[in-house]
A and B are shown apart, each in its own frame.
Chain A
Amino acid sequence: MTEKPTPPRSFQEIILRLQTYWASRGCAMLQPYDMEVGAGTFHPGTTLRSLGTKAWAAAYVQPSRRPTDGRYGENPNRLQHYYQYQVLIKPSPPDLQDLYLGSLEAIGIDMEMHDIRFVEDDWESPTLGAWGLGWEVWCDGMEVSQFTYFQQVGGHDCHPVSGELTYGLERLAMYVLGIDHVMDMPFNDPQAPIALTYGDVFRQTEQEYSRWNFDVANTEMLLKHFEEAEAECESILSQEAMDPKTGKRIIMAHPAYDQCIKASHLFNLLDARGVISVTERQAYIGRVRALAKKCADAFVQTAAGGFEAA
């Protein structure tokens, strides 16, 4: 057995250790995507890069927003804005489970003392037209990660298959650090001259966004933005591949996908405002999925998507 690492002392130390670990295992350290997303999977570094034939290995932190989960910073475990740590490797390496367990060791979970289990949990994203098989990983009965082998994304069969790991960072860190309320968790080193807790950083924003998400957001505007994002996405993808200005073949899969992400988040906001009925819900999800599929279709026609000019 390798030497056991010392226990981490703060939220950010856990993030830094994951970064170091996955960097040392050859992943490209991407940065968070600069748009509002519901989960790390929406980052084009996962959604689009899991498509096509090109190999890929990346890891990143992704701030994620789930407006309906807002609790004004009062619930010990629920937040409308939180961090996910995301790893995507294509093709999935044969030792991905061991690599993953190594990352738990790296953040101070001692395999000799804890009970780690892989419990069936098949993943599906109706908005992305994506699904995969895998597990939720339990540590002493707590779900600490999602582990998925992507089978389909945007309606396309994944070939090769990507292995995706998603860590819910707040929950994982609270467990490792032994914290009961997320707002009490040390964000930086508790011995630092200016020690900050998670609450110091995020309590106020949780309150502000909870109020806006639930009661104030202008639903007419959100609806209009949704339609606009949808229209722009379609319009981008309807352009000729040949750019008349440069004379080059430039398919704009990424700008189109940005609009898809936007539509998805706007839908989430509308959902939190309670203006979407159960039946409409399916219809909206279907509209976002249609965009995601078209973006996937476009991406596999690009070089990054494995397209080779004849």
Chain B
Amino acid sequence: MPDLLIELFSEEIPARMQARAAEDLKQRVTNGLVEAGLTYAGAAAFSTPRRLTLALEGLLAHSPTLKEERKGPKVGAPEKAIEGFLRGAGLTRDQLEERDTPKGAIYFATLTKPGRPAAEIVAEVLEDTIRNFPWPKSMRWGAGTLRWVRPLHSILCILSDEGGASVVPLDVEGIVAGDTTRGHRFMAPAAFTVSSFESYAAQLKRAHVILSAEERADHIWSEATNMAFAAGLEVVEDKGLLAEVAGLVEWPVVLMGEIGADFLNLPPEVLQTSMKEHQKFFSVRDPKTGRIVRFITVANRETADNGKTILAGNQKVLSARLSDAKFFWENDLRVAQREGLGAWTDRLAHVTFHNKLGSQKARIARIALLARELAPKVGSDADLAAQAAEVAKADLSSEMVYEFPELQGLMGRYYAEAAGLPAEVAQACQEHYSPLGPSDDVPTAPVSVTVALADKLDTLTGFWAIDEKPTGSKDPFALRRAALGVIRLVLENGVRLPLLPIFEAGMVNQTVDADRTDYVDTATDLLTFFHDRLKVYLRDEGLRHDVIDACLAMPGNDDLLLLVTRARALTEVLATDEGENLLQGFKRANNILTQAEEKDGVEYAFGADPKFAETDSERALFTALDTAEAAIAPAMAVENFPAAMAAMAALRGPIDAFFEDVQINAENQVLRRNRLNLLYQIRKVCAQVADLTRIGG
């Protein structure tokens, strides 16, 4: 059985697309082959900046012969019908078979689809793959119409077995498949012939190309860490950068360089960001001081001077970059120290946040107002919270953040410190954007929590007020993330915060429409959005959808902490036998009651009277309901859900016994009505805790 080797050789493929493209090549080709009947034993895909490679082992040399049976007309059917059938099947009369069936004798035809040689199928599948490749962005070049990520130069496509290798005949818009490729662009540019995957990989290595991205990344990382270790230093880990750099080189050569003494006092994050974003350098840290003191760059070639010239060039570029960063840092510090952060906030009056929601400065004023209001609920100092909100976005006017937007917040902290602001305020500048995603930490410092909440709530109420809500996969203003942020801030910090009044006031404060003061429906809609986000969030925690629904139906559902506390208590009680059986008992009671109410057209809401109780279990239920009610009401009043739920679960025994011994629909109408009223008691007592009707199962 032959092996198949494919290499698509092009101009430099963007690093971020390589791994996915290798995987897509594998998927599409193997799917196509298997669909055509060509199975294989193993497949591996590789990528470098200039090539996508696929190696298949143990491919069938031919696709299997396929037989297809077709049912034709009845024997003795009109001649025309039989001729038509023969034409369609491409057969003659003597090739048909007569078969007796329950419906009489019928003609059957057996069509044989002969197997095809692998080369033919490979050529078709590969051409189709190339023409329909799912690049995130593709282009045309020259005068042709073919699309690829960058110009495609050559196709290597061979089938090989013990007898040798043969080229799969294929021509895609003038690019004729062959059995040659090239090595490293500069170190080994000559073409060479390939006869198998083994010879391909080995020759590539001699030609200064490491085929496997993983191997290149491993090589870079081990060289880098060794170099740093030898100098008593450590490399700052960055998996994303490592993958990217491994996609920029075919022959990685790791070099370590110095950062000029002038720049060592820059904040480490600035050094790191500047080096990573602009130069794709790794940062090297002194573990004793925590400072970034050197950099690691990865070149794509060896040189006679062991990389000296390359390193000197890189160092020079870095110095120019860091001079800029240093210039920004010093200018910013001067502004922060002399004028304070207020000067920057004032400048945000000219920066539009959203054309319907006003300037950044107007937004900051709203956030500060809200922060002051939220402070007592979060347990932070209102003045500090408002002060923090007023300066938290000041750094957006700084030169450093203009250059490196990803440093927003962090620079705010440095500048707030430089301006002599309280530590809590500086901390809030950095933390108020958090949490940025599901895995990002939630701030815990009260002032930070307050500003973080105010920031996100203002964003949400603003976009709801102008009806710019997320739809489907479109969420350009990251409103889902903001809502999840509020949810996590509130739950993880135990903040009691009824949201509806905040939503309504927030929407009015946006002053989108001066005449409008009624936002009740819009606020309710935003709350529904929150509830949906909350369900997603709690599902990950293992809380069931229907349990949450049972709690959402209760009053105070705009207080997320209350809601979740209730849902957790209910989940816990339902996990016990008592709880599960109580639920069944409740449902039975509720069903009987509902049916009776529908049938009789009345509501059985009069108090049941114990004097009509006939049996002990009936009397016992009366007592149990009184006991439960006496325990549940005070527990609910202090929001002690576990106690309330335990009291409710204690009804399980009496309810079970009641159903065991008593027939609800008694002949005696007085008894029947009294028992139905008793069931109503059960419904009422349980309904204080949660809406159990919404729970499934």
Task: Please list the residues of chain A having a beta carbon within 8 angstroms of any beta carbon in chain B.
Answer: 76-77, 91-94, 97, 111-120, 122, 132-135, 139-142, 149, 151, 158-161, 163, 175, 277-279
Q: Is the CB of B309 within 8 A of A114?
A: yes
Residue of A nearest to B324 (CB): A77
Sample of 19 A–B contacts (CB below 8 Å)? A77-B320, A77-B324, A92-B141, A111-B186, A115-B313, A117-B300, A118-B11, A122-B137, A135-B12, A141-B281, A142-B313, A149-B140, A149-B150, A149-B151, A151-B139, A160-B143, A277-B350, A277-B352, A279-B355
Complex interface: chain A residues within 8 A of B320 (CB):
76-77
Complex interface: chain A residues within 8 A of B142 (CB):
91-94, 160-161
Q: Compute how far the CA of A163 lies from the CA of B11 in the bound complex, rounded to whole angstroms.
A: 13
B141's partner among A112, A115, A135, A149 (CB-CB below 8 A) is A149
A113's partner among B137, B138, B309 (CB-CB below 8 A) is B309
Complex interface: chain B residues within 8 A of A119 (CB):
12, 15, 248
Chain B 200-231 per-residue mask, 1 if CB under 8 angstroms from chain A, else 0 = 00000000000000000000000000000000
- Does B351 belong to the interface (CB within 8 Å)? yes
Complex interface: chain B residues within 8 A of A279 (CB):
352, 355
Please give the distance in Å from B186's CB to the nearest CB on chain A: 6
B286-331 contacts to A, CB under 8 A, are 297, 299-301, 303-305, 309-310, 312-314, 316-318, 320, 323-324
Residue of A nearest to B16 (CB): A120
Q: Is the CB of B317 within 8 A of A118?
A: no
Please give the distance in Å from A278's CB to the nearest CB on chain B: 5
- Does B591 belong to the interface (CB within 8 Å)? no
With A139-B313, A278-B351, A279-B355 in contact, do A115 and B299 touch (Cβ < 8 Å)?
Answer: yes
Complex interface: chain B residues within 8 A of A160 (CB):
142-143
With A76-B320, A111-B186, A277-B350 in contact, do A141 and B279 touch (Cβ < 8 Å)?
Answer: yes
Most buried by B among A134, A140, A149, A159: A140
Residue of B nearest to A122 (CB): B137
Task: Please list the residues of chain B having a beta carbon within 8 angstroms of any beta carbon in chain A.
Answer: 11-12, 14-16, 49, 137-143, 149-151, 153, 186, 248-249, 279, 281, 297, 299-301, 303-305, 309-310, 312-314, 316-318, 320, 323-324, 350-352, 355
- Known contacts A135-B12, A149-B151, then 16 further A-B pairs from the complex at CB < 8 Å, ordered by chain A residue: A76-B320, A77-B320, A93-B142, A112-B303, A113-B304, A113-B309, A114-B303, A114-B309, A115-B299, A118-B11, A119-B12, A140-B299, A140-B314, A141-B313, A142-B316, A279-B352
Residue of B nearest to A157 (CB): B140
Please give the distance in Å from B3's CB to the nearest CB on chain A: 30
Complex interface: chain B residues within 8 A of A114 (CB):
303, 309-310, 313
Q: Is the CB of B14 within 8 A of A120?
A: yes
Residue of A nearest to B139 (CB): A133
Q: Is the CB of A140 within 8 A of B300?
A: no
Q: Is the CB of A91 within 8 A of B143?
A: yes
Please give the distance in Å from B247's CB to the nearest CB on chain A: 9
Q: Compute how far the CA of A115 lies from the CA of B323 in the bound complex, rounded to whole angstroms.
A: 23
Q: Compute how far the CA of A132 lies from the CA of B140 in the bound complex, rounded to whole angstroms.
A: 10
Q: Is the CB of A97 within 8 A of B11?
A: yes
Complex interface: chain A residues within 8 A of B350 (CB):
277
A112's partner among B49, B139, B297, B304 (CB-CB below 8 A) is B304
Main secondary structure of the interface of B (DSSP, over half): loop
Q: Compute how far the CA of A175 lies from the CA of B312 in the bound complex, rounded to whole angstroms.
A: 11
Q: Compute how far the CA of A228 lies from the CA of B249 in the bound complex, rounded to whole angstroms.
A: 51
Complex interface: chain A residues within 8 A of B281 (CB):
141
Complex interface: chain B residues within 8 A of A161 (CB):
139-143
Q: Is the CB of A140 within 8 A of B310?
A: yes
Please give the distance in Å from A185's CB to the nearest CB on chain B: 14
Q: Compute how far the CA of A139 lies from the CA of B314 in the bound complex, rounded to whole angstroms.
A: 9
Complex interface: chain A residues within 8 A of B352 (CB):
277-279
Q: Compute how far the CA of A195 lies from the CA of B680 in the bound complex, rounded to whole angstroms.
A: 104
Q: Compute how far the CA of A159 lies from the CA of B146 in the bound complex, rounded to whole angstroms.
A: 12
Q: Is the CB of A141 within 8 A of B314?
A: yes
Q: Compute how far the CA of A139 lies from the CA of B297 in the bound complex, rounded to whole angstroms.
A: 13
Residue of B nearest to A134 (CB): B150
Please give the distance in Å from A271's CB to the nearest CB on chain B: 13
Please give the distance in Å from A295's CB to the nearest CB on chain B: 23
Q: Compute how far the CA of A76 lies from the CA of B326 in the bound complex, rounded to whole angstroms.
A: 14
Q: Compute how far the CA of A117 lies from the CA of B14 in the bound complex, rounded to whole angstroms.
A: 11
Complex interface: chain A residues within 8 A of B139 (CB):
132-133, 149, 151, 161
Residue of A nearest to B11 (CB): A97
Q: Compute how far the CA of A175 lies from the CA of B49 in the bound complex, rounded to whole angstroms.
A: 26
Residue of B nearest to A148 (CB): B139
Complex interface: chain B residues within 8 A of A158 (CB):
140
Q: Compute how far the CA of A94 lies from the CA of B316 in the bound complex, rounded to whole angstroms.
A: 34
With A133-B150, A141-B279, A141-B317 in contact, do A113 and B143 touch (Cβ < 8 Å)?
Answer: no
Complex interface: chain B residues within 8 A of A140 (CB):
299, 309-310, 312-314, 317
Please give the distance in Å from B49's CB to the nearest CB on chain A: 8
Q: Compute how far the CA of A283 lies from the CA of B305 in the bound complex, rounded to whole angstroms.
A: 53
Please give the distance in Å from A167's CB to the nearest CB on chain B: 16
Pairs of residues from A and B, 10 with the lowest C-beta to C-beta distance, nearest first: A140-B313, A120-B14, A118-B12, A160-B143, A141-B314, A115-B299, A91-B143, A91-B142, A133-B139, A142-B317
Please give the distance in Å from B353's CB to the nearest CB on chain A: 9
Residue of B nearest to A97 (CB): B11
Q: Compute how far the CA of A113 lies from the CA of B302 in the bound complex, rounded to whole angstroms.
A: 8
Most buried by B among A120, A132, A163: A120
Complex interface: chain B residues within 8 A of A122 (CB):
137
With A76-B323, A94-B151, A277-B350 in contact, do A175 and B313 touch (Cβ < 8 Å)?
Answer: yes
Complex interface: chain A residues within 8 A of B49 (CB):
118
Q: Is the CB of B300 within 8 A of A115?
A: yes
Q: Is the CB of A117 within 8 A of B248?
A: yes
Please give the distance in Å from B407's CB to the nearest CB on chain A: 20
Residue of B nearest to A141 (CB): B314
Please give the distance in Å from A55's CB to the nearest CB on chain B: 9
Q: Compute how far the CA of A163 lies from the CA of B629 in the bound complex, rounded to whole angstroms.
A: 82
With A76-B323, A141-B279 in contact, do A113 and B303 touch (Cβ < 8 Å)?
Answer: yes
Q: Is the CB of A113 within 8 A of B305?
A: yes
Q: Compute how far the CA of A82 lies from the CA of B301 in the bound complex, rounded to whole angstroms.
A: 32
Complex interface: chain B residues within 8 A of A151 (CB):
139-140
Residue of B nearest to A175 (CB): B313
Q: Is the CB of A141 within 8 A of B186?
A: no
Most buried by B among A133, A160, A175: A133
Complex interface: chain A residues within 8 A of B137 (CB):
122, 133
Residue of A nearest to B147 (CB): A151
Please give the distance in Å from B562's CB to the nearest CB on chain A: 41
Complex interface: chain A residues within 8 A of B151 (CB):
92, 94, 149
Q: Is the CB of A141 within 8 A of B318?
A: yes
Residue of A nearest to B145 (CB): A159
Complex interface: chain B residues within 8 A of A175 (CB):
313, 316
Please give the distance in Å from B279's CB to the nearest CB on chain A: 5
Complex interface: chain A residues within 8 A of B299 (CB):
115, 140
Residue of A nearest to B351 (CB): A278
Residue of A nearest to B320 (CB): A77
Complex interface: chain A residues within 8 A of B317 (CB):
140-142
Complex interface: chain A residues within 8 A of B323 (CB):
76
With A120-B16, A133-B150 in contact, do A115 and B143 touch (Cβ < 8 Å)?
Answer: no
Residue of B nearest to A140 (CB): B313
Q: Compute how far the CA of A97 lies from the CA of B324 in the bound complex, rounded to whole angstroms.
A: 31
Q: Compute how far the CA of A161 lies from the CA of B151 in the bound complex, rounded to whole angstroms.
A: 11
Complex interface: chain A residues within 8 A of B249 (CB):
117
Complex interface: chain B residues within 8 A of A159 (CB):
140, 143
Residue of A nearest to B279 (CB): A141
Q: Compute how far the CA of A120 lies from the CA of B136 in the bound complex, rounded to whole angstroms.
A: 13
Most buried by A among B138, B303, B304, B312: B303
Residue of A nearest to B323 (CB): A76
Q: Is the CB of A115 within 8 A of B310?
A: yes
Q: Compute how far the CA of A277 lies from the CA of B301 in the bound complex, rounded to whole angstroms.
A: 47
Q: Compute how far the CA of A94 lies from the CA of B174 in the bound complex, rounded to whole angstroms.
A: 12
Please give the distance in Å from B139's CB to the nearest CB on chain A: 4
Please give the distance in Å from A139's CB to the nearest CB on chain B: 7
Complex interface: chain A residues within 8 A of B309 (CB):
113-114, 140
Residue of A nearest to B307 (CB): A115
